[in-house]
Amino acid sequence: MPTADPSSVLVAHRGDTAAAPENTIPAVQAALVAGARFVEFDVQLTADEVPVVIHDERLARTAGVDRSVHDLTADELASIGVRMPGSPASDGVAIPTLDAMIGVIRLAPTVTAFVEIKRSSLRRFGRTVVVDRVSPPLAAAPTQVVVISYDAGAIRETRERLGRRIGWVIERWDDTSRVEAERLAPDFLFADRRTLRADDTPLWAGAWTWVVFDVDDPADARRLSQRGVTLFETRTFAATAAAFREAGP
Amino acid sequence: MNDAETLWLTIDQGGHASRVIVYDPRGEPVATAAAPITTVRPGPDRVEHDGEEIVRSVRTTLDAVASTLGTDTRRVQAAGLATQRSSVIAWDRVSGTPLSPVLSWQDRRAAAWLAALPAHEPPIADTTGLVCSPHYGASKLRWLLDHVGSVQHAAAEGRLAFGPLASFLLHRLTRERPFLVDPANASRTLLCDWRTGTWASSLLTHFGIDPATLPQCVASRGDFGSLDHPDLGGVPVRVMTGDQSAAIFASGVPAPAQTLVNVGTGAFVQRLTQVPPDTAGGLLRSIVWRDDTVTHFALEGTVNGAGAAIDEVAAMVGVDPADAIRRLPAALDAATPPPLFLNGVGGLGSPYWRPDFTSRFIGEGATTERLAAVVESIAFLLAVNIGVIEATLGPTATLLVTGGGATLDGLLQRLADLTGRWVERPAEREATTRGLAFFLSQSRAWTASPVERFSPGSNPALHDRFARWQRELDAALADTGESESTPG
């Protein structure tokens, strides 16, 4: 790794999910306590168009409730808790509003938050409504937030209307994506580790910063770093940071 | 008490009361006394105490502990003095008679005068580690020189002494009547170089203060004379410092990643470092302790409206302040969400620095809900300051909360929930006096007081209110543009 300080290369993906349920305030706080300088979390809209922090459109995996976030109001959602895999319902933790999560991020003024707008919300409500709804909470921490999405149109609109930094998450490693990346010129390019070719070819060069998820192994990070990757997402921030420190620069 | 043991006497002169506590070598209090002091608010932005009353209050408490100790007074080895910082007074150097009231740290009568001064020349923030605020000594000392005849007269006759309250008290409580100041109190005058703990000549010139009228800057530990008291006479005063500066050492030298919060009339967040921080992020940098072997610097955030805000809002809603404080625990446990309170009581402190910020409630609420909102606003402001400290000095492992406000479980739990940190409350809450006793005893075996712990929990409603509060504060700050200070 190019640095001995793992917090400068690691992104806490959905917070530290070894400490608390993913995409909750305690998970993000746990990452911040462990020294994270980059965090990532996901945003969906409720039926009454309130942006909340949750990954899946459906609540089955994280809350054990077979409903869609889009069909519940924020008030209805407030009575549902998300939990760690295998935990009882009594361990449920509140699904935070984007507003509340940004409030937490503001407490750590040197931290950058990657806020992913999920495609299911874009499909359900349309880009304009989603960008409208996330805009006020994000405006509370303008310099700390980077809006990311698989949907290039949504982040383009975000950049044009809100002037925020953006990151595009590529779905495929192909020429179409590369041309789109060059046209969009985002601040960050995100890719799933499995999307990248397994050889040692350098990643597309551009004015963006590469972020790859999920990378927990320092040796893998070292190889990716040589291919041009700067940031690595991990769901277990504290443990991965410890492994990176152990492995040395 | 073991007859062979030496005892340490600590004096804590604060905004509400004077306290004397005598400690044994393990840090156990063996005699305690306190006397309230009167606060006078003769006009907007004016907050005063009576210097003679403060001297009397300390003497009364000394009488009381001497009476408790009986023949054990002879085992008192040394005394330490800590005072509210930034409070200043003028007195006659020969007679020791006050020439002015004590102008409290809360007093900002010279705000307009200070605002009219060139803000960046000399570089006040960089030299003093502070922001150019009317709470600190310089503008109030200047005000005394410009407005009080007896002060002008004494200056002309070469009899003027003025400066931190600590120096006045030392002068009046000791036989030798020295004219000294420690780095912690000196560094709250806006006249002191925070890196060296000595008067900065450029600032003395800037504010038009004759250095001969100010106390001599010395280390925090040394020879400060001996107590002038019938039963405790001759007990040497060995330590002099500020109340918040002493509080940070209540359990000995704090662990590197510990952040300390002391909630009294104001609330203060501090993190210690032996390396002077290059940047402050809108917080304050100061020397909190200097002796022959070590200098401790602190990065410090300040919330002016803690106990002072509860008092003010209680008065506003027509509740006796003591009654308000009794009602707070239940108010904080109540199910009804409180309104939001933008807390500018005493001026909005770090990292915003808006001395004239107008406090306001956002939303409706009954009396108890309003009181809860005030406490919540203290937690919000503390959390913001803790965030800035962490951005500069790295994450905090635990928050240690002391002071009168630490009795409020609802405040400590909110702090834990907001920051995601464990919050600890020492069983012994008189942090200032315990810190003094630690320095007096210089004990390596100083034991940390047992603590109660508050674990961070998920509190979505609180986080929603906090996010709204941040946005409301942003909007209020943007609307008013009432800043007259620049962050340091």
**pLDDT level of residue B466 (50, 70, 90 thresholds):** very high
d(CA A125, CA A48): 10
Same domain assignment for residues B397 and B442: yes
Domain-located, residue B488: no
Structural domains in chain B (count): 2
CATH of residue B453's domain is: 3.30.420.40
Tell whether B256 lies on the interface with A, counting CB pairs under 8 A.
no
| Sign of the Cα pseudo-torsion (B329, B332, B336, B338, in order) | positive
Interface contact flag, B467 A103, Cβ < 8 Å: yes
Distances B341 to A147, B305, B320 between C-alpha atoms, Å: 31, 11, 19
Residues of A in contact with B457 (CB under 8 A): 26
Same domain assignment for residues B41 and B155: yes
d(CA B332, CA B370): 10
Average pLDDT score over chain B: 92
Q: Is the pLDDT of residue B3 over 70?
A: no
Last residue of a domain, one of B244, B263, B279: B244
Share of chain A above pLDDT 90, in %: 90
Q: Is the pLDDT of residue B484 over 50?
A: no
Q: Write down how long chain A is.
A: 249
Beta-ladder partners of B160: B92
Q: Is the pLDDT of residue B246 over 70?
A: yes
Same domain assignment for residues B290 and B421: yes
Last residue of a domain, one of B206, B229, B244: B244
Tell whether B90 lies on the interface with A, counting CB pairs under 8 A.
no
Q: Which domain holds residue B453?
A: 251-480
Beta-ladder partners of B313: none
List, as own/partner pairs, every contact residues B344-347 make where C-beta atoms lie below 8 angstroms and the sequence separation is at least 24, other chains included: B344/B304, B344/B305, B345/B304, B345/B305, B345/B308, B345/B309, B345/B312, B345/B313, B346/B106, B346/B135, B346/B266, B346/B304, B346/B305, B346/B308, B346/B309, B347/B108, B347/B133, B347/B134, B347/B135, B347/B304
Same domain assignment for residues B364 and B281: yes
Domain-located, residue B384: yes
Q: Counting Cβ atoms within 10 Å, is residue B408 exposed (0-12), middle (13-18) or buried (19+)?
A: buried
User: A191 phi and psi, to 5 degrees?
Assistant: -145, 145
Tokens in use for B442?
Answer: 């210089």
- B78-125 pLDDT, tens digit per residue, is 999 999 999 999 999 999 999 999 999 989 899 889 988 876 666 888
Tell whether A78 lies on the interface with B, counting CB pairs under 8 A.
yes
Same domain assignment for residues B179 and B311: no
Which residues, including other chains, have CB under 8 Å from residue A65's CB and lie 6 or more apart? A59, A80
Mean pLDDT of B212-227: 97
DSSP calls for A165-217? EEEEE-S--SHHHHHHHHHH--SEEEEETTTS-SS-PPPPPSSSEEEEE----
- A139-149 pLDDT, tens digit per residue, is 999 999 999 99
- B165-199 pLDDT, tens digit per residue, is 999 999 999 999 999 999 999 999 999 999 889 99
Domain-located, residue B260: yes
- B303-315 pLDDT, tens digit per residue, is 999 999 999 999 9
What pLDDT is stored for residue B355 in this prediction?
A: 81
Same domain assignment for residues B225 and B292: no
Last residue of a domain, one of B244, B276, B300: B244
Same domain assignment for residues B381 and B454: yes
Domain-located, residue B349: yes
Tell whether B460 lies on the interface with A, counting CB pairs under 8 A.
yes
What pLDDT is stored for residue A197 in this prediction?
A: 80
Domain-located, residue B400: yes
d(CA B311, CA B321): 5
Same domain assignment for residues B234 and B257: no
Tokens in use for B387?
Answer: 């965030």
| Sign of the Cα pseudo-torsion (B254, B259, B262, B267, in order) | positive
**Structural domains in chain A?**
6-56+98-247 (3.20.20.190)
List, as own/partner pairs, every contact residues B24-27 make where C-beta atoms lie below 8 angstroms and the sequence separation is at least 24, other chains included: B25/B441, B25/B443, B25/B445, B26/B445, B26/B447, B27/B428, B27/B434, B27/B437, B27/B438, B27/B441, B27/B443, B27/B446, B27/B447, B27/B449
Tell whether A100 lies on the interface with B, counting CB pairs under 8 A.
yes
Interface contact flag, B420 A32, Cβ < 8 Å: yes
Report ipTM for this prediction: 0.84
Same domain assignment for residues B167 and B19: yes
Same domain assignment for residues B221 and B311: no
d(CA B102, CA B165): 7
User: How does B23-44 read in b/e, with b if 16+ C-beta sit within 10 Å?
Assistant: bbbebebbbbbbbebebeeeee
In 3-state terms, what secondary structure has residue B181? strand
Residues of A in contact with B421 (CB under 8 A): 29, 33
Mean pLDDT of B298-326: 92
Q: Which of B9-13, B138-142, B289-293, B478-482 has the lowest mean pLDDT?
A: B478-482
**pLDDT level of residue B482 (50, 70, 90 thresholds):** very low
What pLDDT is stored for residue B163 in this prediction?
A: 96
d(CA A127, CA A153): 8
**Residue B415 and residue B379 in contact, taking contact as beta carbons nearer than 8 Å:** yes
Query: For chain A, which ranges sit under pLDDT 70?
Result: 1-4
**Which helix or strand (DSSP H or E) is residue A149 part of?**
strand A145-149
Same domain assignment for residues B327 and B463: yes
Q: Which of A98, A107, A134 to mutate to test the interface with B (most CBs of B within 10 A)?
A: A107
Same domain assignment for residues B149 and B228: yes
**Residue A232 and residue A10 in contact, taking contact as beta carbons nearer than 8 Å:** yes
Domain-located, residue B2: no
- B18-36 pLDDT, tens digit per residue, is 999 999 988 889 999 999 9
What pLDDT is stored for residue A2 in this prediction?
A: 47
Interface contact flag, B419 A25, Cβ < 8 Å: no
Could you tell me how many CB contacts below 8 A there are between chain A and chain B? 78
Domain-located, residue B95: yes
**Residue B81 and residue B237 in contact, taking contact as beta carbons nearer than 8 Å:** yes
**pLDDT level of residue B406 (50, 70, 90 thresholds):** very high
Domain-located, residue B485: no
Tell whether A51 lies on the interface with B, counting CB pairs under 8 A.
no
Beta strands in B14-159 (DSSP E): 17-23, 29-36, 40-43, 46-49, 76-83, 88-92, 102-103
Distance of CA B474 to the CA centre of its chain: 27
What pLDDT is stored for residue B4 in this prediction?
A: 67
Which residues, including other chains, have CB under 8 Å from residue A12's CB and lie 6 or more apart? A28, A31, A36, A38, A39, A40, A233, A234, A235, A237
Nearest of B380, B376, B269, B385 to residue B331 by alpha carbon: B376
